[in-house]
Chains A and B, each alone.
Chain A
Amino acid sequence: MIKIDHVSKSYDGGATKAVRDLSLEIRSGEIFGLLGPNGAGKSTLLNMLAGVLAPSSGTIELDGVNVATDPLAAKRNLCYVSDSPDHLLRLKGHEFLRFIADVYEVPDAVRGPRIEELAREYGMEGELDNQIQSYSHGMRQKMMIMGALLPDPAVWILDEPMTGLDPKASWLLKQSMRRHADAGKTVLFSTHVLDVAEKVVDRVGVIAHGELLFVGTVDEMREHFKSNGSLEEMFLELTSENSPFAQAADPAGEKDDEPVAPEEQ
């Protein structure tokens, strides 16, 4: 379970607010989709959940563990895939996976078969001996996802995980997410691809200008807007400048863009 309690994140001494007083509870056994336009604060929020950024105020708990006070225990309980797959490019695929397994202390009996299984599923068997820098964008993304799934922690946090994946890998990831949630664990992912969110998520949250504008199921969202339109139309309506939510979230005189988190660029 992920519990976010009145979390804010600001930069430049408070002049730039990337996330504003956000509270949210994501239950065990569900897939939660985080939607929002560019610069909405999605990546900042996910980075705070993963312990890469510290909240300016508020608390975050993963399965009851406070990320700020006990980051190691919290991180052992989560895996995080950022929206950029360009990491540790000079390592070979199997060296990268071994490093991740060592850091998460995955036992020998588990890691060998698991790596082989993941490599087979994602079609990377023939690539493990190549340096990651030689991979295409999609293959790098697959490698990051394999690294995240290898330790199989309770909480998955994925930032734009489908970007660059081929249809099969994308389908596989969605299946994995579903299985993980059905096993009583938690998946939180952000996406711009609204169709994906519509088909996969149990609940959805819409974030814009650093504020959570809506939380609920897709049906509830439809009900809320009394519309039969697609999620995309709702999303556009929800995050548009004319939205009452957006106006409420953008009081005069405050900077609301999020220029600092480069992973969103």
Chain B
Amino acid sequence: MARAAAQDFSWKQFKVMLRVVIKGEQHLDDTGMGLGDDGAIKRRGLLSSLGSGARKVAMGFLFLLVAAMFFMMGYMLGEVGVTPYLAFSLCVVALVGLTVLTGLYQAVNILYFVRDLGYYLTLPISATTIMWAKLAHFLGMSLLGDLILLPVALGCLLSVGAAPGTWVAVTAAFVLAAIAVNLALVIVCVPLMRFSRLAHDKDLFSRVFGGLIIVLALAIGVGSQFAFQGDGLASLASGAGGLLSGGVPAVVVGVLCPPSLLARPVVEGDALAALGGLLGMLASVALYAAILSVVARRWYFEGVQALQGAGGKRGRRVEGAELTQATRTRGSFAANLSRDWKMMVRVPVFFNQFVLSSLLMPLYFIVIMVVSGVVGVSQATDAGMDPVALLEMARSLTALLTFDNPSLAWCAACVLFFGLFLGFSSYSFTMGVSRDGEDFFFLRGLPMNWSAYLAAKFVSPFALSTVPMLVLFVAVIVLLGVPAAAGAYLVAFYLGATVSLGLLSLGLGARFPRLTWDNEAQLVKGGGATLMVFAGLLVGVVVMALPALALLAGALWNVLAIPAALGLALAIFVAECALLAWWVFGPTAAALARIER
């Protein structure tokens, strides 16, 4: 009883805590799911300020771009006869789905994985107050992200010419739904963190949830390839409406997000019904807030204490011959590669971002190809065609891929386009040096071979991002019966594109590293990292422009003979790779040896 009383909420302390939390709390975000920001990284100078401002503008532009896309999507839904209620249902189901997918970890991150939490424990502030301050911060951040979905419903409202009052009611209903689902997740999160052993192992928890999120995100990506075709979007909205119309799904969504149960009168009812619905939604949010307050008073502080006391996994005693074997001599390159690989695999955020997603990318393509193949075969069979005959037809076409045929040049151009697409993942090269963070300055005190260091930084992401795709690429070439010489050319072309892209990205990352970050998520997520991903495309354009021009000179403009165009394009890649290798392992490596804090 005394403990519960000691955990009572204090408005005065809440305001103080909220200010502290917003100003500069450091999150131990280990999933790399975009939860950390890079606000802790402060630099001085006009250029830095300009860079920061430009980054914010670019992020705002991206947000508006996506919002505009969703708005248009909603407008099209309205055009094909989807009602505003169904569009709103789609928003709410997507909101609940995404929040369930990522929200639990976000809540755990904000409420528990905070570096300063151990310090807060020593202060005379009640746990309930601390939790609500963090929660207010969390809700603010979540709402900003959730609002990206709202334009779908608003677009539909525009399409059907809804009254201004409906716009306001729908917006208010969506905000209440977003608050409710986040509160529901925290109600689940608090006892989970108190009693789950998994949640007390930060690395394991981060790895499991991070992996789950990436797998599900890819699954959604694959699913969307098929859902957004034909009337897929309209049927998706219809399905979302069905989820809220009754039965077990409606109960599940209703428990996670009670306002969803009152959505129909708010969207479709008259003013009185809408007001009643909104008041009902508000009451459900208040109820969840009260439940959360009770749950937090009971278990939040204990959960935090359990987390603070959790220990890591212990190793064995290594000695004698085993120790000698474990510490045997390696060269500089092998030593750096081993160190870099271990750091990448053992840091959950790096594992999720650079290892898991890289390995899943080929899987993504395989699934799309297999599903497309199955659908294609099914459609061909329905049309009375033999799938084997179709494959033979494809092979008869690929047999034309010879060095005097423009089709090989166009295939090479497709490889370039594919390489450009892979530019999205080139930031794993760009981040190579930055991944070391403050450790870099420890390495600076050692007699390091910086060329070997950078070579190791190149091999790790290359092995992860390029080699699996190369295997897939060769498999497709073999399956389609591409002539050996043409196949070898395309493989060499692919390697030229990826090696040059990787080298240039690595070199740029080494020239402009971000070494002062507080946690890994700051590095690989947030505004700067998002822009870095898009910058990868520009880097791709830079390295692929000349080979592309050579190919087009042969295949499109007929300025060069096809064999000459193919040879020139490949020669340009070879020259680029040689030049970039010299630049990276020579001057750039030397520049690393001069970097200061």
With known contacts A88-B439, A91-B343, A108-B329, A72–B447 Cβ distance under 8 A: yes
Task: Using A108-B328, A115-B327, A134-B312 as known contacts, say yes or no to A80 and B445 having CB atoms under 8 A apart.
Answer: yes
In contact, B330 and A102 (Cβ under 8 angstroms):
yes
A220–B327 alpha-carbon span in the complex (Å)? 47
From 86 to 125 in chain A, residues with beta carbon under 8 angstroms from any chain B beta carbon are 86-88, 90-92, 94-95, 97-108, 111-112, 115-116, 119, 125
- Complex Cα gap A76–B369 (Å): 54
Q: Which of A92, A98, A100, A119 contacts B315 (CB 8 A)?
A: A92
In the bound complex, what is the Cα–Cα distance between A112 and B323 (angstroms)? 7
Bound: A101/B334 CA distance, A: 13
A232 within 8 A of B: no
Bound CA–CA A107/B329 (angstroms): 7
Interface 0/1 of A125-150, CB less than 8 Å to B: 11111110110000000000000000
A-facing mask of B323-339, CB < 8 A → 1, else 0?
11011111110110011
Inter-chain contacts of A116 with B (CB < 8 A): 319-320, 323
Please indicate the chain A residues that have their CB under 8 angstroms from the CB of B312 in the complex: 130-131, 133-134
Contact status B327-A97, CB under 8 Å: yes
- Interface contact B326-A94, CB-CB below 8 Å: yes
List the A residue with the shortest CB-CB distance to B450: A72
Chain B nearest CB: distance from A49 CB in Å? 10
**Residue pair A99, B445 in contact (C-beta under 8 Å):** no
Stretch in B48-56, B140-148, B465-473, B589-597 touching the partner: B589-597
Give the interface SS of chain B, mostly helix, strand, loop or mixed. Answer: loop
Interface string of A251-265 (1 = CB under 8 A from B): 000000000111000
- Knowing A95-B342, A102-B332 are in contact, say whether A82-B445 is a contact too (CB < 8 A): yes
Q: When the two chains form their complex, are residues B323 and A128 in contact, meaning their CB atoms are under 8 A apart?
A: yes
Question: Shortest CB–CB separation between residue B18 and chain A, in angstroms?
Answer: 27
The answer to whether A52 touches B346 (Cβ under 8 A) is: no
Cα A76 to Cα B446 in complex, Å, equals: 8
User: Does A14 belong to the interface (CB within 8 Å)?
Assistant: no
CB distance from B483 to the nearest CB of A (A): 46
A128 touches B318 (CB 8 A): yes
Q: Point out the residue from A54, A71, A101, A103 that lies within 8 Å of B327, measured CB to CB.
A: A101
B43 close to chain A: CB less than 8 A: no
Task: For A76, give the chain B residue with the smallest CB separation.
Answer: B447
Cβ contact within 8 Å between B445 and A50: yes
Q: How many A-B residue pairs have C-beta atoms within 8 angstroms? Tell me.
A: 116
Cβ-neighbour of B446 out of A75, A112, A133, A261 (below 8 A): A75
Given known contacts A125-B319, A128-B323, is B444 in contact with A102 (CB within 8 Å)? no
Is the CB–CB distance between B597 and A260 below 8 Å? yes
Contacting pair A99 B339 (CB below 8 A): yes
> Per-residue 0/1 for A39-57: is the Cβ within 8 Å of any B Cβ (1 yes, 0 no)?
0000000010011111000
Most buried by B among A50, A54, A112, A262: A112
The CA of A115 and the CA of B320, in the complex, are separated in Å by 10
Query: Given A91-B343, A129-B316, A131-B312: A82 and B442 within 8 A (CB)?
Result: yes
Contact of B448 among A97, A103, A127 (CB under 8 A): A103
Interface size class of A (residues with CB under 8 A): 35 or more
Tell which of B311, B313, B319, B331 has the most Cβ of chain A within 10 Å: B319
> B53-77, CB under 8 A of A: which get 1 and which 0?
0000000000000000000000000
B347 at interface, CB cutoff 8 A: yes
List residues of chain B with CB within 8 A of the CB of A260. Answer: 597
Other 20 A-B pairs with CB < 8 A, given A80-B445, A87-B439: A51-B445, A87-B442, A90-B343, A91-B342, A92-B315, A94-B323, A94-B327, A95-B342, A98-B328, A99-B339, A103-B332, A105-B329, A111-B329, A128-B317, A128-B319, A129-B315, A129-B316, A131-B346, A133-B312, A261-B597
Please name the 3 residue pairs, one residue from A and one from B, whose CB atoms are nearest each other, closest first.
A129-B315, A102-B335, A75-B447
Chain B positions within 8 Å of A, measured between CB atoms, are: 311-320, 323-324, 326-332, 334-335, 338-339, 342-343, 346-347, 438-439, 441-442, 444-449, 593-594, 596-597
Q: Can you give 28 A-B contacts (C-beta < 8 A)?
A: A51-B444, A52-B444, A52-B445, A54-B594, A75-B445, A86-B438, A87-B438, A87-B439, A90-B346, A91-B339, A94-B318, A98-B327, A98-B328, A98-B335, A99-B339, A102-B331, A102-B332, A103-B332, A103-B448, A104-B446, A107-B329, A111-B327, A115-B327, A119-B319, A125-B319, A127-B315, A128-B323, A134-B311
